[in-house]
Every structure is written in C-alpha cells, then in structure tokens.
Amino acid sequence: MLSDALQNPHCKLEILWLKYCGITDEGCAALASALRSNPSHLRDLDLTGNELGDLGVKLLCAVLEDPHCKLEILWLCYCGVTDEGCAALASALRSNPHT
C-alpha cells in the first residue's frame, strides 16, 4: 500500500523513515519501483535495520541514478550491505550530481 501511495504523482513526501520494519529484498524492490515512478520529492530515506543486502541496495541504486532523484540523506545502517553494495552505491551517487 505504501508503494501505491508513493507512485501517486500527487505524493509530495520528502521524509520516509522505515527503521527496523523487516523490509527485505522483495519490499525493497516495491519501494524502489515506486520511487523510480515518482522520484523528485523524497529527500530523506532511512532504511536502518532492514535486511536489504546487496540486492536491495542495487535496486535502490537504480533510483539514485535517476537524474530526477533529489535524495539527500540515505541511511542504511545495519542492513547487511557488503563491499559490493557499497561500490554500487558509490557508482550510483557519482552518476547523479543531484544526490
């Protein structure tokens, strides 16, 4: 339901904190899909304490690479991100001057 709301073009949400919500790769895929369809308003995303792993991080990277993405703060503490996920994040952030 949250993904549906985020996809709505009238959604102007700027801060989304989903700490320790049990979000896995599947939930991250739905979140990333919603953010790709409406990326321009979200500025602060906190996914601390969710089991995203590298697959979830790679899905988020697609959002971060979008030139319409204006995300300024991304929290991924205790999410199981490895060196590979960090490298993907760094690449995505370098490719988008707005993030």
Q: What is the Cα–Cα distance from 99 to 83, expressed in whole angstroms?
A: 20
- Tell me, what DSSP letter sits at residue 45? E
- Our CA angle for 7, 8, 12, nearest 5°, is 100
Q: In what order do the strands lie in the sheet with 44-46?
A: 15-17, 44-46, 73-75
Share of the chain above pLDDT 70, in %: 97
The CATH architecture annotation of domain 25-95 reads Alpha-Beta Horseshoe (3.80)
Name which of 2-11, 22-31, 54-63, 86-95 the model is least confident about.
2-11
Q: Which tokens is 14 given?
A: 């700027």
Domain assignments of the chain as residue spans, ordered by start = 25-95
pLDDT of residue 4: 79
Tens digit of each residue's pLDDT (9 = 90 or more) over 20-52: 999 888 888 888 888 888 777 889 999 999 988
Q: Which tokens is 53 given?
A: 């792993």
Q: Are 64 and 99 in contact (CB under 8 A)?
A: yes
pLDDT range class, residue 98, cuts 50, 70, 90: low
Q: Are 38 and 8 in contact (CB under 8 A)?
A: yes
Q: Which tokens is 75 given?
A: 């929290």
pLDDT range class, residue 15, cuts 50, 70, 90: very high
